[in-house]
Structure 1
Amino acid sequence: MTTTTHPGSASLQQPDYWWYRARTQLLRTALEPFLGEPSWVLDVGSADGPSVSWMRRHGRRIALDVDPRGLASERGVCGSALALPFASEVFDVVAAFDVVEHCEPEDQAMAELARVLAPGGHLLLSVPAYQWAWTDHDVRAGHFRRYTQRRLLTAVERAGLEVRRSTYAFSAVFPFFVAERVQRRFSRSPASGDGGLTPVPAWLDWLLMRLSGLDRRMLKRFDLPFGSSIFLAAVKGKPGTGQMSSTAKPRMARRPPVLEVGK
C-alpha cells in the first residue's frame, strides 16, 4: 500500500476559489437526488468542506481526512480511505469527492468505500477527467491518475456497486480548462499560485461562474458528454445478490458507526 505525500487540499488555503464554489453547486445539482433520508453519512476527504456544505442537513455526518486541518467537525476522524476505521455496512451514504485519484491501489480504496456502505446505500464520487490533461498540477496535488467515464464505471462496478448516474461536469468552461492545461504543459514556469491553483482575475471569476451555471441547468435535465470532472452515484445491492431491485426500499443503518481502533 502506497500513498503520495502532498501539502493537503488547496481548498484549505483558498476555499473561495471559483472552482470550489462552482463544484459545490454542480455536485448538489447532479447528486443530491441520490441522498434520500440517510441516518449516517460518511464524508471521505472532508478537507474539501466547502464542496459538501449542501449535504450537512442530510443525516448525521462523520468526516474523515488524512489531513487533520480539514476536520472542523466534532465527528471528525483522521484516517485513510485505504483503511477506513469503521465497521462494515454502517453508512447510508458515503461521499468521496476528488479522493480516489489520490489512492493507490485504487481497488483497495473502492473496496473500502463499498465495505462501509449499508445495503441500499449510495456512493457519491467525483474525480478529475482525462489522463491527457495530466500536468504539474496533478503531481503537486498528489494524484495517481485521472479518469475517463468508462474507467470510473469499471472501478465502481468491480467493487460490486450498481451505477445510477455518471456524468461529466464543467463542460461549459472546458475550453478554458484545455487552454490552461496546454499552457501548463509548455510553460517553463508553473502557472499556479499558492496551493497550485491558477490565479483568476475578478472578471474571469465572474465569467467562469456564469458558464458553470449553464452546466447546472443542463445537469438538471441530462448527463454531459465531456468536461474536466466526472460525477457518479452508485448503489449497493441487497446482501447475497449484488443487485438492487428497482422496487426495493433501501435499508438504512440506524445504529451509529463503530470506530475500529487500530484499523
Structure 2
Amino acid sequence: MAEAVIARARLRPFLAGNPFPHGWTEGLFYREKMRAIHRIAPPSLGPDDRVLEIGGGRSGLAAMLYPGADVTTLDLDPQYAANQPAGARNRFVCGDARALPFADEHFTVVTLFDVLEHILEHEQAAAEALRVTRPGGFVLVSTPAADWHYPMYGWLRRHAPHERELMDEWGHVRRGYTVEELTKLFGAAPVASASFINAATAFYHDVAFSRLGRRSRTLLYAAAAPLVLGAYALHGNRTKGTEIALAWRK
C-alpha cells in the first residue's frame, strides 16, 4: 500500500487565510504573495517530511500551505510563540536564521518568506537553510525585487511616507534582489519562480500604505477596481512583478 501524502492546500482555502483584512483591496498585495508562493511550492509531502518556516513568527504561512504537516516555525522574537497556528504537529522555536538549532538535512521544505532582505549576513542565512534541507528537499523564498520603489505612482508621493521610512519600519537592510543575486546566494538557479504585485496591482499597495484617509482610499479602490482586479486575474509567471517567489531543490 502506498504511503499517504500530505497535499499542499488547495489555492482558494489557502488564500482565505490571508491575515490582512480587506483581502481584495488593502490586503491584495498579500493575497498576491500567497498565490505566488503556492505556485512555486511542492504539491505534496510524505507523511514523515518536516517543514521549517524561518522568520515566520507572524505569518504561519507554512502551516497553512501544508495543513497537517510537521511544521516548525522559527523566529528571533519569543512573543510569537503564543500566536502560532493550531495543530498537533505545529511547534515554535526561538532562534536565529544565521545559526539554526537543527541537525543537518532535517527538513524537506525550508521557507524564507520575506526574510532575507531583513538579514545583513544573508549569506549565513542562505547557507544555514541549505544545511538543514535534506537532499531532494526544497528551499522556498519570497522577497522584493531589487528595483521596486514606493510609491510606484509618483502623484501619490505627497500622500505617502518616504520609502526609506517604510523600509526602516519594516526592518529592511536592503531593497531586494535580482534572480541572479539569489542564484549566486544559493549556489544554483531556482527550479521554479513566480512574480507578484505588477504595475497595475501595485496601485492598491501604494494606496494601502499611504497616509490617505479611509474614505479617500475606498474611493480610489473602487475607481481602480476594474483595472487592478483584471490585472490580478491575468497575472502569470512571466508577468513582471515588484516581488518574486523562488524555489531551489537541493
Q: Output the TM-score relative to the length of structure 1.
A: 0.64
**CA RMSD across the alignment:** 3.3
Q: CA deviation at 1:110?
A: 0.4
Give the 3 Å change call, closer, same or farther, for CA 117–53 of structure 1 in structure 2.
Answer: closer
Counterpart of 1:56, as a letter, is Y
| Distance in 1 between residues matched to 2:97 and 2:91, nearest whole Å | 16
Which of 9, 12, 15 is 2:20 aligned to? Answer: 15
Is the 1:26–1:215 contact (alpha carbons within 8 Å) kept by the matching residues of 2? no
| Distance in 2 between residues matched to 1:45 and 1:209, nearest whole Å | 35
SS of 1:138's partner is helix
Q: Report the counterpart of residue 201 of structure 1 in structure 2.
A: 217
SS of 1:114's partner is helix
Is the 1:129–1:229 contact (alpha carbons within 8 Å) kept by the matching residues of 2? yes
Counterpart of 2:65, as a letter, is M
Give the 3 Å change call, closer, same or farther, for CA 115–176 of structure 1 in structure 2.
Answer: same
Which of 151, 154, 167 is 2:194 aligned to? Answer: 167
SS of 1:143's partner is coil
Which string of whole-angstrom CA distances, capped at 9 and with x for unpartnered residues, describes residues 68-88 of structure 1?
Answer: 333325510111111111001
| Distance in 1 between residues matched to 2:226 and 2:183, nearest whole Å | 28
Q: CA deviation at 1:167?
A: 3.3
Q: Does 2:153 match 1:139? A: no
SS of 2:37's partner is helix
| Distance in 1 between residues matched to 2:247 and 2:146, nearest whole Å | 19
Give the 3 Å change call, closer, same or farther, for CA 57–218 of structure 1 in structure 2.
Answer: same
Counterpart of 1:88, as a letter, is D
Q: Output the TM-score relative to the length of structure 2.
A: 0.67
Q: Does 2:70 match 1:65? A: no
| Distance in 2 between residues matched to 1:208 and 1:155, nearest whole Å | 38
| Distance in 2 between residues matched to 1:170 and 1:233, nearest whole Å | 18
Counterpart of 2:243, as a letter, is S
**Number of corresponding residues:** 202
5+ unaligned residues in a row in structure 1: which ranges?
1-13, 185-190, 237-263
Q: Report the counterpart of residue 49 of structure 1 in structure 2.
A: 59
Q: Does 2:97 match 1:92? A: no
Give the 3 Å change call, closer, same or farther, for CA 162–132 of structure 1 in structure 2.
Answer: closer
Q: CA deviation at 1:166?
A: 2.6
Write out the 4+ residue segments of structure 1 that deviate beyond 6 Å after TM superposition.
none
| Distance in 1 between residues matched to 2:66 and 2:226, nearest whole Å | 23
Q: Report the counterpart of residue 229 of structure 1 in structure 2.
A: 243
| Distance in 2 between residues matched to 1:37 and 1:68, nearest whole Å | 28
Counterpart of 1:143, as a letter, is H
Q: Report the counterpart of residue 40 of structure 2 in structure 1.
A: 31
Q: CA deviation at 1:132?
A: 6.0
Which string of whole-angstrom CA distances, capped at 9 and with x for unpartnered residues, describes residues 201-224 of structure 1?
Answer: 3455575798367446543xx333
Q: Report the counterpart of residue 127 of structure 2 in structure 1.
A: 111
Give the 3 Å change call, closer, same or farther, for CA 192–162 of structure 1 in structure 2.
Answer: same
| Distance in 1 between residues matched to 2:221 and 2:63, nearest whole Å | 21
| Distance in 2 between residues matched to 1:175 and 1:15, nearest whole Å | 17
Is the 2:32–2:196 contact (alpha carbons within 8 Å) kept by the matching residues of 1? no
Is the 1:97–1:127 contact (alpha carbons within 8 Å) kept by the matching residues of 2? yes
Counterpart of 1:141, as a letter, is W
5+ unaligned residues in a row in structure 2: which ranges?
1-18, 150-162
Percentage identity across aligned positions?
A: 28
Counterpart of 1:169, as a letter, is F
Counterpart of 2:129, as a letter, is L
Q: CA deviation at 1:66?
A: 1.4
Counterpart of 1:96, as a letter, is L
Q: Does 2:220 match 1:211? A: no
